[in-house]
């Protein structure tokens, strides 16, 4: 979801160089940019959402379209301005969860659970959103510290940041959440790497240690924040009636997604350490796997 000063025509190679290109993710570009046929095909295949952001921070989407772009590369899309935190301009109603009536002036102690319902700010899902907000903010701080890292690792981090935003969107809208990926690498592959790092990444499991330096420490803290999010989400979505009968939870997709995301952060952590110790060839090997 990084903002770039981009050329007028976006090529496939430009997308791969500047964005993580996670399946189902989102990228932001300047208004007026267009795509080559190959770039457009890649966006369509990966179901990547494109939003446009100008130099004033205003965000636009293609008119009547909020999913992956299906544009003719020779034509500029017709855009409409949307709220930066949403993909539509729907004005929320103020139906109160407690009294089930419309509230003309939203009280300071209440907030929107969705576009229709007001709830107290102590609502468990609002608490979860607060933790997601903090995690996203810290993820961006880590990204800022990775500017000197190889492009592949920066793109992996862009995918992690994008997925955290998708979790928030999924929780608010109720849309199903896919599993996370790092570029072309699926959640199953990432899970395998994280459980057998010596075999796949050339280094055994790493516990927090000052000897690994500040960037690895920051990544480890981000991993811990994601794990904390997973535990919070499990508590929030635990359904008492299902617990009594089958031990199930609502929104298992969010809980599972967070579980896999912590593995993704752990993988990036190990790869950063390996590159800091002259093992950049590992990244070339990973890149060749997707070539």
Output the CA–CA distances (angstroms, integers) from residue 166 to 35, 80, 170, 253, 261, in the order listed.
24, 21, 6, 12, 12
> Tens digit of pLDDT for each residue in 157-190?
999 999 999 999 899 888 899 999 998 899 999 9
| pTM over cut 0.85 | no
User: Which CATH number is 123-290's, of 1.20.1200.10, 3.40.50.970, 2.60.40.1120, 1.10.620.20?
Assistant: 1.20.1200.10
Nearest CA to 162 out of 245, 47, 13 is that of 47
2: pLDDT strictly greater than 60: no
> Tens digit of pLDDT for each residue in 49-87?
888 888 777 888 887 544 444 444 445 667 888 766 555
State residue 6's pLDDT score.
Answer: 65
State residue 286's pLDDT score.
Answer: 84
- Most confident region among 93-102, 119-128, 132-141, 279-288 by mean pLDDT: 132-141
Structure tokens at 223: 């991993």
CATH 1.20.1200.10 in the chain: give the residue spans.
123-290
């Amino acid at each position: 979801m990084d903002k770039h000063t981009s050329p007028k025509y976006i090529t496939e190679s430009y997308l791969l160089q500047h964005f993580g290109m996670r399946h189902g993710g989102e990228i932001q570009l300047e208004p007026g940019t267009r795509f080559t046929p190959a770039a457009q095909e890649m966006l369509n295949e990966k179901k990547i959402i494109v939003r446009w952001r100008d130099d004033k921070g205003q965000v636009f989407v293609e008119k009547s379209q909020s999913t992956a772009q299906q544009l003719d590369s020779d034509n500029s899309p017709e855009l409409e301005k949307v709220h930066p935190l949403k993909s539509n301009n729907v004005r929320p109603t103020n139906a109160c969860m407690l009294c089930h009536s419309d509230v003309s002036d939203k009280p300071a102690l209440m907030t929107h659970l969705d576009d229709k319902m007001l709830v107290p700010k102590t609502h468990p899902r609002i608490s979860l959103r607060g933790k997601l907000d903090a995690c996203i903010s810290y993820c961006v701080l880590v990204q800022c510290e990775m500017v000197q890292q190889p492009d592949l690792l920066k793109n992996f981090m862009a995918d992690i940041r994008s997925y955290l935003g998708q979790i928030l969107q999924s929780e608010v809208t109720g849309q199903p959440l896919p599993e996370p990926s790092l570029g072309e690498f699926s959640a199953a592959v990432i899970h395998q790497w994280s459980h057998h790092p010596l075999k796949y990444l050339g280094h055994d499991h790493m516990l927090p240690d000052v000897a690994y330096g500040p960037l690895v420490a920051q990544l480890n803290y981000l991993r811990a924040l994601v794990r904390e999010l997973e535990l919070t989400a499990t508590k929030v979505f635990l359904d008492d009636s299902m617990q009594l009968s089958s031990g199930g939870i609502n929104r298992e997709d969010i809980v599972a997604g967070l579980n896999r995301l912590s593995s993704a952060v752990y993988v990036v952590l190990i790869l950063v350490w390996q590159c800091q110790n002259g093992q950049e060839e590992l990244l070339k090997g990973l890149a060749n796997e997707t070539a």
